Amino acid sequence: MIRLSGALQAWGTSDFDDVFRQELMELSIDQLTLQKAISMGNYVIDAPITVMNINAVETAEAVQVRAGIFFQTVIAGCNCADDPTPASNINEYCEIQLDIDKTTSVANVNLVE
């Protein structure tokens, strides 16, 4: 379960974008469903992500935020000593939508196809 209480408290202020980005950068790869967003590699590496706010709107029940996520993957192989293909990081991008419940601050994450 993801709670974005800081972002919810900052909603409607000039600090919202910064607080939202910071809270997302602290989440794990699994929480952001990045493994489902891979297009070139086959494994998301545990490296810092970059978050870009695209749009945010308020509904009666939630704050809905669409965000772009820049992350890195690799093509994982056997990593044998004689493997001629070096592992190199691949830059990837996806968009997600987070619906932050205004009562509980629980956020649902959905990958935008």
pLDDT tens by residue, 25-39: 999 888 999 999 999
Mean pLDDT of 86-91: 81
* Entry pTM: 0.86
The predicted structure's pLDDT at residue 11: 97
Q: CB of 27 within 8 A of CB of 7?
A: no
The predicted structure's pLDDT at residue 107: 97
Mean pLDDT of 53-77: 94
**Domains identified in the chain, total number:** 1
Does residue 84 carry a pLDDT above 70? no
* % of the chain residues with pLDDT over 90: 76
The predicted structure's pLDDT at residue 64: 98
The tokens describing 39, both together, are 């297009």
Q: Which position has the higher pLDDT, 65 or 84?
A: 65
d(CA 38, CA 18): 26
Mean pLDDT of 54-81: 89
The predicted structure's pLDDT at residue 101: 97
Q: Write out the residue range of the structural domain in which residue 42 sits.
A: 2-112
Q: 43-44 and 62-74 as β-strands: parallel, antiparallel, unpaired?
A: antiparallel
